[in-house]
């Protein structure tokens, strides 16, 4: 009996849309697998704000 195992790994691009919903005090997350289109973003145009504020 052969007890050896083989494993393989592959990488994929997953797109996430994170939409705050302050009225219901929740965050909606849309996930899309197998993104075929990659968009280049200029670092100067990138504006990221961390944290959630529902007040």
> What does the pLDDT look like over 5-44, one tens digit per residue?
665 666 666 777 888 888 888 888 887 776 665 566 666 6
Q: Please report, in angstroms and rounded to a whole number, the separation of the first and last CA atoms in the chain.
A: 62
pLDDT at site 18:
83
Q: % helix / strand / coil in the chain, to the nearest 5?
A: 10, 25, 65
Would the pLDDT of 53 be above 80?
no
The CA-atom distances, in angstroms, between 50 and each of 17, 29, 34 are 15, 16, 26
- Cα separation of 49 and 2, whole Å? 52
When pLDDT is cut at 50, 70 and 90, the band that residue 48 belongs to is low
Identify the residue with better confidence: 16 or 55: 16
- Is the pLDDT at 2 greater than 60, yes or no? no
């Amino acid at each position: 009996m052969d007890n050896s195992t083989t494993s393989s790994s592959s990488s994929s691009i997953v797109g996430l849309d994170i939409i705050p919903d302050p009225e219901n005090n929740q965050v909606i997350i849309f996930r899309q697998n197998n993104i075929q289109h990659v968009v280049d973003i200029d670092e100067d145009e990138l504006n990221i704000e961390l944290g959630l504020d529902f007040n």
